[in-house]
A and B are shown apart, each in its own frame.
Chain A
Amino acid sequence: MNPRAAVLELPNDISAIETAVERAVHCCASARLARSRLMFNFRVGLTEALSNAILYGNGGDPRKRVWVELRVQSGEVRACVTDEGNGFDPDTVPDPRLPENIPRPDGRGIFLMRALMDEVHYNELGNSVTLVLREGTRAAP
């Protein structure tokens, strides 16, 4: 198949996430990933990236926007989520699996993205994250 590309623009509103994720899944159907990887890994990973962008990157500011750039080819999907915030250093986020962090209600989003996707890259500023999911590679489950 020829690569496909699409861009979704979202308001900075968590209620927009679920619809955006379903639109992205629909766009990515032609990648022919296993159903579980698209319907679970990709949906959870993209939901995490969007909620981080809306709540933390854009600080919940309703005047800001979030963009999702999708690139789809056979056996691979890429989603780049960009916000209008000042970015952050993802390497400073603590491991939620440490015993002292397990009872905490927060701090699992970036960990889940990394666990469920094959690649997770941030830009230098930290306001844009690219998620890559491929067929037949290591990402859990």
Chain B
Amino acid sequence: MSVRALLDIHVARKRFADTTVLKDVRLALQPREAVSLLGPSGCGKSTLLRIVAGLEQDFQGELRRPDGEVAFVFQEPRLMPWLTVEQNIGFSDDNHYDRAWVTQLIEEVGLKGFAQALPKALSGGMAQRVAIARGLYSRPQVLLLDEPFSAVDAFTRMKLQDLLLQLAEHHAIALLLVTHDVDEALYLSDRVLVMDNRPSSIRQALAVELPHPRDRRDPRLAQLKALSLTALQQAHVI
């Protein structure tokens, strides 16, 4: 399975002070695949994501990242409040960012006309759209998302989920997403990995073999939800 994987990680052990957070976690991401990590708060799924992103380097194990870019979308938009939407999207290239590409991204995330707006003037959902556009700016092969929609209301969340799927499809990006929303995990991903409490490892992998675009009311999603809830229960998460 990991022959042509985009990203390959094996965390033998990751500890914070005296607590082991992650133990023997293996994960491979195929091109264009969407994988969700589902688990309780504090189980180390965000830590795993941060290790993949290179933000956390103190761990035992191996990480093979793709040759191309890996981008990160945080739980909060984390926009620079002193920069306009446009400047925030092209942030990684200082002031000589590719304007045409930024303009295209602004249109793709549905913020046409907001290029010169400051983050203060944006709603939470709009700010997160900017954050996604900033993630896409570097033309990544893998987009890592840490509970990206947990801070927005339910309707905005559904819209942003659809936007994310559409963008991932259009730009051929693989997604690795951390969430504790079962519906979100099932709706977005090809595989859902259920993690248990610390020291956590991947307890169960659920394949979601449904074609896109998916219907949120699809009974098969409901069945999978029941399965994942059982898995979470067995993992003593709920």
Q: Do A and B come from one complex?
A: no
